[in-house]
Amino acid sequence: MTETRETTSVAIVGAGVAGLTLGNLLLRNGIDCIVLEKHPRAYVEQRQRAGTIDTFGVRMFRKWGLEEVLAGEPIPHSEGGFYIDGEAMPIDVDDNDNDNESLYCPQQVLVRNLTELFLRDGGDLRHEAADVSLEDVTGDRPLVRYRDADGTAKIIYCDFIAGCDGFRGVSRRTVPASALTEYSHEYGYNWLSVLAAVPTKPSGMAIHSLGLAGMIPRGPRTSRIYLQCSVTDTPEQWPDERIWDELQARFGTPVTSGEILDKRIVPLRSVVFDPMSYGKLYLLGDAAHIVPPMSAKGIHLALHDTEVFARAVIRQVKEGDPRLLDSYSETCLPHIWNYQAFATWITDIMHNAGFTGGEGEFRKQVARAELQRQFTSDAANKLFSELTAGTN
Ligand SMILES: Cc1cc2nc3c(=O)[nH]c(=O)nc-3n(C[C@H](O)[C@H](O)[C@H](O)COP(=O)(O)OP(=O)(O)OC[C@H]3O[C@@H](n4cnc5c(N)ncnc54)[C@H](O)[C@@H]3O)c2cc1C
């Protein structure tokens, strides 16, 4: 069977946040790229995850002239708050804080906007790319093989491969285990993540002896609910009635029940792979690291990697200077570890506080003290308002 052969400068695997942002940054700077995505466009554009872009992300898109990708379906503002054992904690959020530019923009809206912009600018984006495999990544001319939506075998020769295909993608698996160190931490509990057709009331996060609960708006009549659960729990162990009962108990305030649209278990873990490159293959976003959703910093890290990598490729292609590419991993990793430190801290504070699998009442009092201390610090206050808006 004959194979179609093409060439490009950067082959991008995965059309999520990192892959599409990278495609747009390269295209705007006159660098050839092809983006391959295994799922159909409709699926990728409806996949619900994060709800907020933090200040770094907003400024990054603006700096590169891409801020139109942040326009989207408005989500009603709701007064988010913290609760401990059913008692609302007073929060003094500064509405005039000009340093906080985070905004509601559901991940699926961001992906849809990035896709539209890339295609409008003439970008080459191929959905339903099956059996993607990477070859000769340590050679001069790496290649990507795949089958297109019609089943035709294709080969793309390129200068660089950007592995933006998430935690379970093919890119990282191409790197021999001996060339990669995995650092990982399991938190010892999971989240039941629920999408429900109800207005968000109450809104915020609740620390309770039964475990953490959260309720965050995802639309005028849609809410994301999460409930800390055991690592052995399955969605079947959480019938709808149990979800509403637990939510009410953990917030300590009445909750209006409604239709449950989706429920799934989300593992809470932190993972970092080091280094983030191998030959001409570079790993970006979730392909290289995972932060627990409690930190709401997955998008931030994906965008940070993308900006570092885009600058490095532009410098290489336009000036023949490989130094930024050579130091890609060393540039990204300290930033990632900083955010892992924050993610571990906030995840521990918000969970494990009286939950029977945790350390009990002592931890709950520590959590109360930590939260109160944060509300009296400007920097931490900003962090918390981004956090409570962003957690999915
Ligand atoms: C339930 C959940 C809730 C979350 N909540 C938040 C939150 O509140 N705030 C936050 O900041 N982050 C959150 N995150 C994390 C955030 O969604 C990710 O960090 C972010 O999507 C990473 O972007 P990415 O581009 O690296 O990966 P992804 O967005 O996962 O994109 C990877 C893309 O690669 C494609 N792909 C995979 N394998 C292949 C292949 N073999 N060939 C071609 N394409 C492939 C995938 O289909 C996907 O489109 C959440 C994640 C989950 C799962």
Given this model, what pLDDT does residue 389 score?
47
| Whether the CB of 297 sits within 6 Å of ligand 1 | yes
Work out which ligand 1 atom sits closest to the CA atom of 297: 11
296/292 Cα distance (integer angstroms): 7
Given this model, what pLDDT does residue 47 score?
86
Q: How far is the CA of 132 from the centre of ligand 1 (A)?
A: 17
Work out which ligand 1 atom sits closest to the CA atom of 298: 19
Mutate to test the pocket of ligand 1, among 263, 270, 282, 286 (most ligand atoms within 8 A of CB): 286
Residues with Cβ within 8 Å of 189's Cβ and at least 6 positions away in sequence, in order, are 211, 228, 229, 230, 231, 268, 351, 352, 355, 357, 358
| Whether the CB of 290 sits within 6 Å of ligand 1 | no
Given this model, what pLDDT does residue 347 score?
93
126/39 Cα distance (integer angstroms): 9
**Cβ of 269: how many Cβ atoms within 10 Å?**
16
pLDDT digits (tens, 9 = 90+) for 217-262: 877 788 999 999 999 999 999 999 999 999 999 999 998 899 999 9
Given this model, what pLDDT does residue 29 score?
97
Identify the residue whose C-alpha is closest to ligand 1 atom 27.
166
Q: How far is the CA of 51 from the centre of ligand 1 (A)?
A: 13
Q: How far is the CA of 142 from the centre of ligand 1 (A)?
A: 25
Given this model, what pLDDT does residue 361 score?
72
pLDDT digits (tens, 9 = 90+) for 11-48: 999 999 999 999 999 999 999 999 999 999 999 998 87
78/153 Cα distance (integer angstroms): 50
Which domains, from first to last, does the chain contain?
4-74+106-183+270-344 (3.50.50.60), 187-268+354-372 (3.30.9.10)
| Whether the CB of 193 sits within 6 Å of ligand 1 | yes
| Whether the CB of 214 sits within 6 Å of ligand 1 | no
Work out which ligand 1 atom sits closest to the CA atom of 305: 26
Given this model, what pLDDT does residue 289 score?
98
Q: How far is the CA of 107 from the centre of ligand 1 (A)?
A: 9
The amino acid present at 323, given as its one-letter code, is R
Given this model, what pLDDT does residue 381 score?
56
Q: pLDDT tens digits, the chain, 392 residues: what are they? A: 578 999 999 999 999 999 999 999 999 999 999 999 999 999 999 887 877 889 999 999 999 999 999 987 656 555 668 888 888 876 655 555 567 788 888 888 999 999 999 999 999 999 999 999 999 999 999 999 999 999 999 999 999 999 999 999 999 999 999 999 999 999 999 999 999 999 988 888 999 888 999 998 877 788 999 999 999 999 999 999 999 999 999 999 998 899 999 999 999 999 999 999 999 999 999 999 999 999 989 999 999 999 999 999 999 999 999 999 999 999 999 999 999 999 999 998 888 766 655 566 777 777 778 777 766 555 555 555 555 444 43
SS3 of residue 242 by DSSP: helix
| Residue 22 contacts residue 164 (beta carbons within 8 Å) | yes
Identify the residue whose C-alpha is closest to ligand 1 atom 49.
16
- 24, 221, 295, 296, 345 from 292: Cα distances, Å: 27, 26, 6, 7, 11
Identify the residue whose C-alpha is closest to ligand 1 atom 3.
49
Pairing of strands 213-219, 52-53: unpaired
Given this model, what pLDDT does residue 391 score?
43
96/85 Cα distance (integer angstroms): 30
Given this model, what pLDDT does residue 219 score?
76
Work out which ligand 1 atom sits closest to the CA atom of 20: 25
Identify the residue whose C-alpha is closest to ligand 1 atom 15.
298
Identify the residue whose C-alpha is closest to ligand 1 atom 7.
50
Strands (E), 90-221: 103-104, 124-126, 130-135, 143-147, 153-163, 181-197, 204-207, 213-219
| Residue 266 contacts residue 193 (beta carbons within 8 Å) | yes
Mutate to test the pocket of ligand 1, among 110, 165, 281 (most ligand atoms within 8 A of CB): 165
| Whether the CB of 298 sits within 6 Å of ligand 1 | yes
| Whether the CB of 266 sits within 6 Å of ligand 1 | yes
Q: How far is the CA of 105 from the centre of ligand 1 (A)?
A: 15
pLDDT digits (tens, 9 = 90+) for 123-148: 999 999 999 999 999 999 999 999 99
